[in-house]
Amino acid sequence: MNTNDNDTHAMKSMNINEPLLNEKDAAHFLGISRITLLRKRKKGEINYFRIGVRVLYSKEKHLFPFLVKCEK
């Protein structure tokens, strides 16, 4: 599978109508502060989209998998 195939597969698995969350809303959804979200993003614990200077999160692709990893 080449890179374009991976991108296409990722796009097909996402709900295109799902709104993306900014940092404030993503932190609120997770119940953590924006600083904690930033730290986890920099450590690679939470993935994200970068569009220009904006950082956006998908609940399905980024936030739910993080919560699953945190589950004990």
The arrangement of secondary structure in 15-70, i.e. its CATH architecture, is Orthogonal Bundle (1.10)
CB 27 within 8 A of CB 37: yes
pLDDT digit string, tens, across residues 26-54: 999 999 999 999 999 999 999 999 999 99
47: left (phi over 0), alpha (psi -120 to 50) or beta: beta
Query: In the prediction, which pLDDT does 3 show?
Result: 43
pTM exceeds 0.85 for this model: no
